[in-house]
Amino acid sequence: MAARSSARFQPSQWSRAHATFYGDESASATMGGACGYGNLFSNGYGTDTVALSTTLFKNGYSCGACYQIRCTASTACYAGSPIATVTATNFCPPNWAQDSNNGGWCNPPRTHFDMAKPAFMKIANWKAGIVPIMYRRVPCIKRGGLRFYFQGNGYWLLVYVMNVGGGGDIGSMWVKGSQTNWISMSHNWGISYQAFATLRGQSLSFKLTSYTTRQTIIALNVAPSNWNTGLTYGTNLNFS
């Protein structure tokens, strides 16, 4: 059983920014990252990912957001201005030792995308290093439902929320044990939320609200009473 509320995510207007890339063609440097997705291949994100500047990252609440990016107004752009669709999985930190217009590309208040190299190579010649772009937020199209990866201990539950559709992001989250009322979870970092509660031996349900759309999903009995840390539990529900 589940409940939903609020509207579907709608694409934003196109805006101007710049893009660089990090890592190499293998995208091994993108694994892990500030959002907490871990292995991006095994968790379904692959190489179509991006690190966001401070202005876009919003203290991790933009993790999971999806963007369309196309190169513009540069000889490095590929013919036809092809579009790369990427998911925000990392943070591009400021470099205060460099000027914002000369190396400090992710310094506030710049809007900047540091793309995984394979994603950058879809829109422009990588030898350019940095290119002007047009970008917009788009709905995240995910196969299957939300996935919840558990960490913590008997008194502290840490949950990483993955494969989020719609706006792609999570703004607030609650957990309910089969013997408790709804417990508000605090934002730990990136895509992880935590509850300091004793929930062992109880089946667990979750309520989640999208940061962008305020759409809410209630997923009942996601994890059985014998749940354990280090495991991932799924539901067939997702944002749209």
> Does the pLDDT at position 100 exceed 50?
yes
Output the pLDDT for position 8: 79
**Cis before residue 109, ω within 30 degrees of 0?**
yes
What is the value of pTM for the model shown? 0.94
Q: Strands of the chain (E only): list them.
A: 2-5, 15-22, 49-52, 66-71, 83-91, 112-116, 131-138, 147-153, 156-162, 172-177, 182-189, 192-195, 204-209, 216-223, 232-234
**230: DSSP letter:** T
Secondary structure of 93-151 as H, E, C letters? CCCCCCECCEECCCCCCCCEEEEEHHHHCCCECHHHCCEEEEEEEECECCCCCCEEEEE
Q: Which value, to the nearest 10 degrees, does the dihedral of the CA atoms of residues 104, 108, 109, 113 take?
A: 60
pLDDT tens column, 117-162: 999 999 999 999 999 999 999 999 999 999 999 999 989 999 999 9
Write out pLDDT tens, residues 69-90. Answer: 999 999 999 999 999 999 999 9
CA separation for the pair 178, 176 (Å, rounded): 7
* CATH numbers and ranges of domains, the chain: 10-138 (2.40.40.10), 147-234 (2.60.40.760)
- For the stretch 161-172, pLDDT in tens is 999 999 999 999
User: Would you say 238 and 145 are in contact if contact means Cβ atoms under 8 Å apart?
Assistant: yes
Rounded CA gap, 82 and 48, in Å? Answer: 14
